[in-house]
Every structure is written in C-alpha cells, then in structure tokens.
Amino acid sequence: MIDIKFLRENPDVVKENIKKKFQDNKLPLVDEVIALDEERRKVQVEADSIRAGKNKIAKEIGMLMGQGKREEAEAKKKEVAANAARLVELEASEKELQEKVTNIMMTIPNIIDPSVPIGKDDSENVEVTKYGEPVVPEFEIPYHTDIMKTFDGIDLDAAGKVAGNGFYYLMGDIARLHSAVISYARDFMIDRGFTYCIPPFMIRSNVVTGVMSFAEMDAMMYKIEGEDLYLIGTSEHSMIGKYIDTLLEEKTLPHTLTSYSPCFRKEKGAHGIEERGVYRIHQFEKQEMIVVCKPEESPEWFTKLWQNTVDLFRSLDIPVRTLECCSGDLADLKVKSYDVEAWSPRQKKYFEVGSCSNLGDAQARRLKIRVNGENGKYFAHTLNNTVVAPPRMLIAFLENNLCEDGSVKIPEVLRPYMGGKEKLVPKNN
C-alpha cells in the first residue's frame, strides 16, 4: 500500500504506474480516493474543532453558573448537546470514509522500481543470468514421479483416497531426501547469518491482508471455518506478521530470519502434465528467508537474497537461471522480483523453483511496522525469498543427478544428511 500523501501529491505518477502494470481498470480509483480523502479530511477538521471546543464551553458554562446567568448557561448546554450529536455523526462519517479510502488504497498497486521491465505477463519476463552448464544426457530421463516409483518413494493413489488430488505420500529414500534438503537448506542459511525460526502455521485475517493482495489471498489461502484463522501459503507471511504493530529500534536492523514450515495452497485451475505429480500441490514444505531493513538497504538485500538461492542450488550441482519479473507479472505489493529457475534435463528447459521479492514499505505500512531512527520514525522495508521448496526441488534434483542405471548421485554437501550415502539405488526398474 502506497502513502496516501504521495498519491495526493503525485496522482499522475500513480496513474502511470497503473498503466505500466496493465491495470487500466484501476485508473479511476486514483481520482476517487483523492476525493474521498479530501472529504474525510474536511470531516476530521470539523470533528477536531468540536473536540477542541468541548473544554472551553464547559469552562464557560461553569463561569456563567457562578455568575448566576442560568439562561445563558442553559443555552451553552444546548450547544454542547448539539455539538455532541454532530460529533457522533462526524465520527461515524469519518470512520466510513477512512474504510473506503483504505480499501481502495489496498487495491492500488505499489510503485514499481524504475529498473523493472515493462510487460503484460510472465511470457515477457527477462532472463538475467545463467549459472552452471545445462546438460541433456544421452539416456532418457523419466517423468519425476516415475523416477520416484523406482525407489518405492511415492504413493499418489493412496494420498488421493485420503485427501484428494494435489497430495502425496513420500516414502523411504525419497522422503529422507526431502527432509535432507530441508535440513541442509536450514543450515546453509544459518551459516549465512540468518536466525532460524519455526513460525505459526496459521495466521489471522489482519495479518493476511497486511502481507498480500486480495487477489493473492483469494487464489491461495485456506480459511479455517468458524475462526479468524487461515492456513499459511508460505511462512514469509507469519514471519513478517511477527512484526505487526511494532516500533523497531534502528540500531537493531536488519532483522534476518530463515524459517521452516508446511505450506497450504488452493492452486485453483486446471494444469498441464508438467504441473502434475509434486510440481503444483496443495501441501508442501519449504525453507524461506525474510529481511526487515532500512529503506536504503533493501536493494542490496534483494541481491543477497536471490543469490543465496542460486548458491544453494549450485552447491547441489543443479544449473539455474534468474529471471526478472516484468511489470505485469508483479503482484500489487511488489517493487521488484526475481524468479529462480532450475534446469530440467527431461523438458530441456528451466522451471520455477523460487521467487525473491522486494516489497518496499507496502507490507510495513499495512502492518504498522515502524522504525525509530535518528531523524524520526519511518516504515521499514520488507523482502522475502524462497530458499528451497523440496517438492519442486526434488524434481530438479532427481533429473539432474539421475544416472543411466537408474541410481541417483548424492552431492557431497548433502551426504551428512543422508547417513553418508553417496547414491540412491532403485528398488525396481
């Protein structure tokens, strides 16, 4: 959410930003919110005037009563009663207008960074850099669930009976590999100076609306019926929520956290074969990272965050590339975003395994995360990035480490988490 003062003073900038995001249907909202805010401020001025005059009139009534001027005192009392009734009306109007302003401001997209490429959707995202040499082996790479089945490592049919489509049982070596990747990612981020965190896996609605747009919320979140609780779609939401309504001392910044959590997502819509198996699912686990920092430091942290993911994947011998998300592919709260994509030897192309975002002060403004600095109070900047999400990571890992005999190599850094195993041997082919 951008600053209403900035919008009042720079309506053309806000409108141009909306156009860059190809959301022209939101252009009328700028003038609408300016008019509503002007009306709200007029109501507030009148209400403040009545509040300020209450003590003055009360003193006047006391003086008049002391002087025996009962009729004049009664007239003042009627004025007080009229003012009180008017104040009730004004406060109700002020509240209603503020809610309308807030609701509109929460749908107007954040101002994107000038470096963001302009494009309508993810087809116009821009490749930044490739890391590692993509390899296509001479032997055929099976579909990822078929690889897992050779290890008796997955049971989608049983999961379908228990929970429906979009769920899975991971078994044996594949389940262990999943946990090993999570544990390695945890230690990888701790070694880079991040504080390890296991957050709540449910959050209240005020946190949900603080960390994401309404469109994202509808597409992602599962609501707990009868309670003001949502299952998290990603742990960055509860980690950023940790700071709701706080005043941080500037000297304590930056706050850098890395978290483990299960994640739950609706994943609406039909998907093609490449998004079946464990690629697009309703439940998965993830290692995440977030940063709460000074505004001037967020560009530097943005680079550090996506580089962490690149370095982790490269340490596991998986080629990756970074893509910069174009304007039309950015969620409304984001200032700038990179996707990290891993190489798929089977598909002979890259696919998304993580996303890094700088949200500026949008989340901090919604959640009231402020900083007490030398020159006064200001809103912090927040950033988040996927360290690793093993279901998708497993696809990249298995394809890139599969041998012609069906075994899977275990990179050296992962062996301590796999009981020293150097490779996985299939149980059936």
**Phi, psi of 230, rounded to the nearest 5 degrees:** -125, 145
Looking at this protein, which amino acid is placed at residue 65? Answer: M
Lowest mean pLDDT among 17-21, 25-29, 53-57: 53-57
Cα separation of 270 and 273, whole Å? Answer: 10
Q: Please say whether the dihedral angle defined by the alpha carbons of residues 3, 6, 10 and 16, taken in this order, is positive or negative.
A: negative
pLDDT exceeds cutoff 80 at 135: yes
pLDDT exceeds cutoff 60 at 425: yes
Confidence of residue 269 (pLDDT cuts 50, 70, 90): low
Q: Please say whether the dihedral angle defined by the alpha carbons of residues 222, 361, 21 and 113, taken in this order, is positive or negative.
A: negative
CB-CB contact of 258 with 186 (8 Å) = yes
pLDDT at 53: 72
- DSSP letter (8 states) at residue 412: G
Helix (H) or strand (E) holding 372: strand 369-373
From 378, 300, 380, select the one nearest 336 (Cα to Cα): 300
- Token pair for residue 297? 């430091």
- DSSP letter (8 states) at residue 332: T
CB-CB contact of 397 with 318 (8 Å) = yes
CB atoms within 10 A of CB 200: 16
Q: Which residue has the tokens 């690149």?
A: 310
Segment 381-393, tens digit of pLDDT: 999 999 999 888 9
Per cent of the chain over pLDDT 70 is 93
In the chain, where are the structural domains located? Answer: 4-105, 122-424
Confidence of residue 218 (pLDDT cuts 50, 70, 90): confident
Tell me the pairing of strands 283-293 and 381-388: antiparallel
Q: Report, in angstroms and rounded to the nearest whole number, the Rg of the chain calculated over CA atoms.
A: 28
Q: Which residue has the tokens 């706050």?
A: 255
- DSSP letter (8 states) at residue 67: T
The answer as to CATH 1.10.10.10 being correct for domain 4-105 is no
Going across the sheet that includes 202-203, the strands are: 202-203, 230-231, 222-223
The answer as to CATH 3.90.1170.50 being correct for domain 122-424 is no
Could you tell me the CA-to-CA distances from 55 to 60, 65, 74 in Å, in that order? Answer: 9, 15, 16
pLDDT at 220: 84
Cα atoms found within 13 Å of the Cα of residue 277, Cβ hemisphere only: 20
Segment 306-316, tens digit of pLDDT: 999 999 999 99
- DSSP letter (8 states) at residue 229: -
pLDDT exceeds cutoff 90 at 1: no
Cα separation of 248 and 407, whole Å? Answer: 51
What is the residue-averaged pLDDT of the chain? 91
